[in-house]
Structure 1
Amino acid sequence: MLAHWAPFVLAASVLAIELSPAHVMVTGPVLTATPALAALTMGPKGTLAASAAALAINTITATYNQEWGTEQVYGNFLGLCLVSLASIALSNAVRARRQSKLDQVRRVAVAAQDVILRPVPAQLGPVRAASLSLAAEAEAQIGGDLYEAVQTPYGVRLIVGDVRGKGLKAVRAVAVALGAFREAAHHEDELAVVMDRCADALNRECAVPDAFDQETLLEGFTTALIAQVPTEQPVVHLVNRGHPPPLLLHQGRARTLMPACPLPPLGLEDLTLGPPAKPESYPFLPGDRLLLYTDGVIEARNRDNDFFDLPRALERIRANTTPPDFLEQLHQELIRHTRDRLTDDVAMILIDRLTVGNRPDKRGTAH
């Protein structure tokens, strides 16, 4: 930040010297360095401002010291004008190059997001679905949150989770957890075993030298929630490992599906006592909606430090809203609450249980 003011500090120093009794003629060439220095530390507008300030100071000092008509003054003006034009052109070129690199990074981030956090299909077996991911880090496309929804022989299976840690190391953990889920969800009949496969994959990755940064290793856990919606049964099965419980919207009222037996997050398996817990089941009737989300939603605060009231926000949205529109309206509610200043990543999956008449048959057509 101080470097941005260096050109103006230099120009002010020259002005002070030239207006003092000890003024010297050599400060003119020093003033010529002002726009060049601005081109290195500021953008085009800052360079233009520094150039204008240098020209103004040169005019003031030449008038004050009665130096008009000397070759030194005109030489300083010519040099200052040439350096100013070159500095402005250089600043524009640097800005264009940086913008090009930023656009390339964004394209890579979007491509990575499509691979790691791809949007869920609009319909999966007995449910309609939509997803939303928001990264709190500036210019980021992917954060430490994860989600996925897949159609399997056992019904629709979904996961939402939150990797502790930030940056590219957290993204690596997201990729590991999602890779394990996408594989195990199709081959493991027990929902708890699918969760265990995700935990095993993360533990193996943590054992790789330099796989994660110190912050991620110290926190060392990932909260996760896996849900299963059977094709023929109006229920949802849940395995929750330290993650915020989902919300079930039934007849316009939101209900929190709290686990009866809380389990520790992935990576903290040593804290588990007794036999492995079985999935917990809850009614999930045609017309119901289920929201899976990360703690960035419920921990979002407004300027009065109040948390976002997610259940009430769900109840305010009209029942006939499609899943994508539902999440978009929820997104707008979150923006209004936080004034568009998220402090944590956000991920959400919304699923609607379809009626029997809208459920697709084995060929993928509704009947």
Structure 2
Amino acid sequence: MSNLAPQRGVGAAIRSAARQVWLPVGILVVVTAVDLVTGSSTAYYPFLLLAPTLAAATAPPLAILVIGGVSLPLRYWLASRDGYLGAEYTDLFRVSTWMYVMATGLAMYLSAARIRRERALVAVSEVAVAAQRAILLPPSDKLGGLRLAVRYFAVAEEAELGGDLYIALDTPFGVRLIIGDVLGKGLGAVRTAAITIGAFREAAYDEPELSTVARRVDTSVTRNAPADRFVTALLVEVRPEHVAFTHRGHEEPVAIRADGAVHVLEPPEPGLPLGLGELDPEPPRPWVVPFGEGDLLLLLTDGFADARDAGGRHYPLVDRIRALFGEGRPTVPDPVVAVERLGDDLVRHVGLLRLADDALVLALARAPDPPKSPPAS
């Protein structure tokens, strides 16, 4: 096994080099072949200039220098065969040769600038991804009598990471969660997500009322997040046989009952997103719905509803949940199975296209009570 890794490394390097130079090398071969086939009646050797210039888009400067060095004598040879090195063409050929050399040098400069930009972009992307991963820590499989699972689809175009967020905490007031989506993308969205999660972590352990937790998080986002950022969020508190929600402009949760019935839990008092609470003098009160053993709760971000297939059709979230988990199913699936099944279905819907926005699904269910041991004789 120790010899396989170097061999794979050499093979990968060869494939990478081939991807970088296949276009300019192909131009050299095609132009030379066409010039030889057509004879001296037509001169195609000036098109050799395309090889080093187009190489700036893919090849490193050293490769461009080699391509230019190879194509110069090839250019001279083709011009000689076509009869363009006579006295009447000497000055013209000399000028075109200098132009060829300068174009090769310019291509090397552009290639070096492109490589510097790519490296800087990779560095920024790695920092952004590390920051986002530090925020979106995976929850424990079991937390305060609940089973949890999450699946996250990040759409990172260059460094434009999204701002989906979530956290689950076992507090003195029960298990509390927040799921949200920051307006916008990039490092500003990641920073706002970190502010939101930090504020929720502090308030969730201190405040007995879920509405007060929401108000404290809203205040923190208003004070500390960039002025153009706000967060749609749903705050959740799991109580014995019930679950309470505080809505702040987020996607409605979906409950799958033990009998397979699917319910979209619409808030009776929709609230404004976090960071805009000052526009609403009376923030919404929590609402409570039953949540017993065998029920499954799905919390989602709008990346699911916004996903489109090749025909431009939105992902039919509720219909797909009913088809995957609803009536006619013998049992409601485990949260891990549920998020995997729903995520795979989303990927099939999108196909070869990219998601328009980050997508996040968090599933939770009550953990069954451990079986009681029979009393001792």
TM-score normalised per structure 2: 0.69
Q: 1:42 to 1:109 in 2, by over 3 A?
A: same
Q: 1:241 to 1:320 in 2, by over 3 A?
A: closer
1:353 to 2:361 alignment: no
Shift of 1:352: 1.4
For 2:192, the equivalent position in structure 1 comes to 173
Q: Percent identity?
A: 35
CA distance in 1, matches of 2:71, 2:302: 50
CA distance in 2, matches of 1:198, 1:101: 35
1:269 to 2:269 alignment: no
CA distance in 1, matches of 2:56, 2:318: 51
1:151 to 2:174 alignment: no
Structure 2 residue identity aligned to 1:41: A
- Which of 356, 364, 374 lines up with 1:343 in the alignment? 356
For 2:130, the equivalent position in structure 1 comes to 111
Q: 1:169 to 1:141 in 2, by over 3 A?
A: closer
1:259 to 2:277 alignment: no
Shift of 1:198: 1.1
Q: 1:358 to 1:346 in 2, by over 3 A?
A: farther
Where does 1:124-135 land on structure 2 (aligned, <5 Å)?
A: 124-135=143-154
- Which of 337, 341, 344 lines up with 1:332 in the alignment? 344
Check whether the contact 1:134–1:142 (CA below 8 A) recurs between aligned residues: no
Structure 1 residue identity aligned to 2:191: R
Q: 1:176 to 1:267 in 2, by over 3 A?
A: same
Check whether the contact 2:160–2:187 (CA below 8 A) recurs between aligned residues: no
Q: Secondary structure of 1:132's partner?
A: strand
For 1:362, the equivalent position in structure 2 comes to none
Check whether the contact 1:308–1:337 (CA below 8 A) recurs between aligned residues: yes
For 2:245, the equivalent position in structure 1 comes to 238
Aligned length: 317
Check whether the contact 1:146–1:174 (CA below 8 A) recurs between aligned residues: yes
For 2:232, the equivalent position in structure 1 comes to 223
TM-score normalised per structure 1: 0.71
1:41 to 2:41 alignment: no
Where does 1:1-367 land on structure 2 (aligned, <5 Å)?
A: 35=52, 37-38=53-54, 40-43=56-59, 57-65=75-83, 67=85, 108-139=127-158, 142-206=161-225, 212=226, 217=228, 220-230=229-239, 233-250=240-257, 251-272=259-280, 275-317=282-324, 319=331, 321-339=333-351, 340-357=353-370
Structure 1 residue identity aligned to 2:59: G
Q: 1:303 to 1:55 in 2, by over 3 A?
A: farther
Check whether the contact 1:38–1:47 (CA below 8 A) recurs between aligned residues: no
CA distance in 1, matches of 2:139, 2:158: 23
CA distance in 2, matches of 1:196, 1:56: 74
Consecutive unaligned residues of structure 2, counting only runs of 5 or more, are: 1-22, 326-330, 373-377
The superposition leaves residues 120-170 of structure 1 with CA deviations (integer Å, 9 ceiling, x where unpaired) of 111111211011222223255941111111111111111111111221111
Shift of 1:316: 3.5
Structure 1 residue identity aligned to 2:243: V
Check whether the contact 2:179–2:233 (CA below 8 A) recurs between aligned residues: yes
CA distance in 2, matches of 1:298, 1:276: 26
Structure 1 residue identity aligned to 2:276: L
For 1:364, the equivalent position in structure 2 comes to none
Which deviates more from structure 2 when the two are superposed, residues 191-200 or residues 128-137?
128-137
Q: 1:286 to 1:39 in 2, by over 3 A?
A: same
Q: Report the RMSD for the aligned CA atoms in angstroms.
A: 4.4
CA distance in 2, matches of 1:255, 1:268: 29
